[in-house]
Amino acid sequence: MARLDPLGQRELMESLRSARARGCAVLLSTHILSSAEEICDRLVIVRSGRLLAEGSTQALVAQTGSLREAFFDLTGQ
């Protein structure tokens, strides 16, 4: 399993932002919720193969204050 150091993480996020700015759709699968909150316009939260939430990042964050809290609420953690 490969892991990115902080420089690699920054470069990846810049590359994703650049692709979005050019009008590309970007599909990102991550467990790093802060990255998802920073880069995603829309998202889905899946647990054990079950769809728990789908919609705009803003809407999910508005419900709980953060994507992290939304995840905990939706997964019962």
pLDDT digits (tens, 9 = 90+) for 17-47: 999 899 999 888 888 888 888 888 899 988 8
Residue 1 lies in a domain: no
Distance CA 73, CA 71 (A): 5
- Residue range of the domain that includes 49: 6-75
Between residues 2 and 23, which one has the greater pLDDT? 23
Mean pLDDT of the 44-51 span = 90
State how far Cα 59 lies from the chain centre.
13
Number of helices (H) and strands (E) in the chain: give both, helices first. Answer: 4, 2
Query: Is pLDDT at 1 greater than 60 in this prediction?
Result: no
Q: Distances in Å between the alpha carbon of 24 and those of 15, 47, 54, 76?
A: 11, 27, 20, 34
Number of compact structural domains in the chain: 1
What pTM does this model have? Answer: 0.70
Query: Is pLDDT at 66 greater than 60 in this prediction?
Result: yes
Mean pLDDT of the 40-61 span = 90
Q: What is the mean pLDDT of the chain?
A: 88
